[in-house]
């Protein structure tokens, strides 16, 4: 299906992600329907859109009239049952951004299929669930696709496009072109656990947690090493507190289970305990750090030798994941580099970073860790071994 701005885009789920996606589509010129079962969520989304467009005007990025036109293009729908969603019959594409529960999403897709036109696209913003499992809930699975935005959707440039096993190839190309036209940077990902970003990024959190659990360094020191020495915008513990430990832990568990409990993706008991205690991060006032008014931020141990050892360990794990993603056809090397720089703001692409470190050095770090721990967690990608043997490049 070829898209144009005369076509209505539907979004179901008016939380932060859904509201953000609705804003992106409306700013691109589409009429938008935004639905949620919660009236409070609808009102928060409406207020958030008004505030966001006022900020656009304040920053000189649009006029009052243009901001008003964007807001006028968004229609809010309260309810998520078949009767409430009847207006979605006019949509060319519907993007669901509801709870990460496969059964709930499948039920929604089955309901939507009875409402929308036969050629309407059914898309999911899921970050970790199988698109094929969603397509299996409808009779015409060829029109189901993953369209994974990153939070906040109006700001973050990356969108992962994930065709399911039976998704029509032409449809995937058309959806990618549509999202490109919205001003986003799109990458094509295979329908595998975590897609590109949430799979490759796991060691940024998991290995940092392991280093802390072993008492090799505290959170502040690990964050300092990754941020100040590695150039990452935020350290792993700062970022987990920003994302929410409940969300970050749930994604790790989802990938771990979907990858048949591969040790490389094993969740941390430390993070589990924080979730159980309600220490979710910034949104709860306490996570790895205390966010109460007046709370002192712990000082890192600024030991460069220690910091570079921490950084080297985490980087080796990240590079290995990126190499393995190429090996298993998760995405092209170019899309993997784009995904990690545009989706999670890494300071450079991991494949290029691995080449700069030296593939042999990355492999030596992993082999030393595996020898010390005797854990499959540190096994090197077969592709990395071959590249080292052949004195090749990770990017090529």
Regarding whether 114 and 34 lie in a shared domain, the answer is yes
Inside any domain, residue 395: no
**Rounded Cα distance, 111 and 100, in Å:** 17
Task: Judge if 100 and 137 occupy the same domain.
Answer: yes
Residue 235 and residue 363 in one domain: yes
Q: What is the pTM of this model?
A: 0.93
CATH number at residue 59: 3.40.50.720
Residues 119 and 244 in one domain: no
Domain stops at, among 127, 162, 188: 188
pLDDT tens, N- to C-terminus, the chain (396 residues): 689 999 999 999 999 999 999 999 999 999 999 999 999 999 999 999 999 999 999 999 999 999 999 999 999 999 888 889 999 999 999 999 999 899 999 999 999 999 999 999 999 999 889 999 999 999 999 999 999 999 899 999 999 999 999 999 999 999 999 999 999 999 999 999 999 999 999 999 999 999 999 999 999 999 999 999 999 999 999 999 999 999 999 999 999 999 999 999 999 999 999 999 999 999 999 999 999 999 999 999 999 999 999 999 999 999 999 999 999 999 999 999 999 999 999 999 999 999 999 999 999 999 999 999 999 999 999 999 999 999 999 998
User: Which CATH number belongs to the domain containing residue 236 in this structure?
Assistant: 1.10.1040.50
Burial of 81 (0-12, 13-18, 19+ CB in 10 A): exposed
Q: Is residue 396 part of a domain?
A: no
List residues bridging with 146 in a β-sheet.
124, 162
**Predicted local confidence at residue 1, as pLDDT:** 66
Please indicate, yes or no, if residue 303 is contained in any of the structural domains. Answer: yes
Average pLDDT for the chain: 96
pLDDT of residue 128: 82
Say if 61 falls within a structural domain: yes
Q: Which of 188, 208, 226 is the last residue of a domain?
A: 188
- Do 67 and 146 share a domain, yes or no? yes
For the stretch 169-221, pLDDT in tens is 999 999 999 999 999 999 999 999 999 999 999 999 999 999 999 999 999 99
Report yes or no on 63 lying in a domain.
yes
Q: Does some domain include residue 46? A: yes
Residue ranges with strand state E in the chain: 8-12, 32-36, 74-78, 91-96, 121-124, 144-149, 158-163, 185-188
Last residue of a domain, one of 137, 166, 188: 188
Return all residues near 219 (Cβ < 8 A) that are at least 6 apart: 212, 235, 237, 288, 289, 298
Q: Is residue 100 part of a domain?
A: yes
pLDDT at 80: 80
Statement to judge: residues 290 and 226 lie in one domain: yes
Same domain, 210 and 159: no
Residue 227 DSSP label: I
Q: Are residues 290 and 369 in the same domain?
A: yes
Tokens for 110, please give them: 């089955």
Looking at the fold, whether 221 and 171 belong to one and the same domain comes out as: no
Containing structural domain, residue 259: 199-390
What is the pLDDT at residue 2?
81
| Residues with catalytic function | 127, 148, 160, 198
Residues 382 and 296 in one domain: yes
Comparing C-alpha atoms, which of 282, 297, 145 is closest to residue 219? 297
Q: Are residues 18 and 144 in the same domain?
A: yes
Total structural domains within the chain: 2
Establish if 194 belongs to a structural domain: no
Q: Please check whether residues 96 and 222 belong to one and the same domain.
A: no
Number of residues assigned to the chain: 396
Q: In the beta sheet, which residues pair with residue 145?
A: 123, 163
């Amino acid at each position: 299906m070829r898209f144009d701005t005369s076509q209505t885009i539907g979004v179901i789920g008016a939380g932060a992600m859904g509201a953000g996606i609705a804003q992106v589509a409306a700013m691109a010129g589409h009429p938008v329907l935004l639905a949620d079962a919660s009236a409070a969520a609808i009102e928060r989304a409406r207020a958030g859109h008004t505030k966001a467009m006022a900020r656009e005007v304040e920053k000189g990025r649009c006029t009052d009239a243009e901001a008003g036109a964007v807001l006028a293009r968004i229609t809010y729908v309260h309810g998520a049952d078949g009767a409430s969603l009847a207006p979605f019959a006019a949509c060319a594409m519907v993007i669901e951004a509801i709870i990460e529960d496969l059964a709930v999403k499948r039920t929604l897709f089955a309901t939507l299929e009875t409402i929308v036109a036969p050629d309407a696209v059914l898309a999911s913003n899921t970050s970790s669930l199988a698109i094929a499992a969603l397509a299996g809930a409808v009779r015409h699975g060829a029109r189901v696709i993953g369209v994974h935005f990153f939070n906040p959707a109006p700001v973050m440039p990356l969108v992962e496009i994930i065709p399911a096993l039976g998704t029509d190839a032409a449809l995937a190309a058309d959806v990618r072109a549509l999202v490109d036209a919205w001003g986003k940077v799109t990458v094509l990902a295979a329908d595998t656990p975590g897609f590109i970003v949430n799979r490759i990024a796991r060691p940024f959190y998991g290995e940092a947690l392991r280093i802390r659990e072993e008492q090799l360094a505290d959170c502040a020191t690990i964050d300092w090493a990754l941020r100040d020495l590695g150039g990452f915008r935020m350290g792993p513990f700062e970022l987990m507190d920003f994302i929410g430990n409940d969300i970050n832990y749930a994604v790790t568990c989802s990938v771990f289970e979907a990858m048949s409990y591969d040790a490389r993706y094993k969740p941390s008991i430390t993070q589990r305990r924080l979730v159980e205690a309600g220490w979710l991060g910034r949104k709860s006032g306490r996570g790895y750090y205390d966010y109460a008014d007046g709370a002192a931020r712990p000082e890192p141990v600024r030991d460069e030798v220690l910091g570079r050892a921490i950084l080297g360990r985490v980087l080796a794990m990240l590079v290995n994941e990126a190499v393995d993603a190429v090996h298993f056809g998760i995405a092209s090397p170019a899309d993997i580099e784009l995904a990690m720089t545009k989706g999670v703001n890494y300071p450079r692409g991991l494949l290029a970073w691995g080449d700069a470190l030296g593939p042999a050095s990355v492999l030596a770090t992993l082999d030393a860790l595996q020898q010390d721990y005797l854990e499959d967690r540190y096994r090197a990608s077969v592709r990395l071994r071959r590249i080292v043997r052949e004195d090749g490049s990770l990017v090529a």
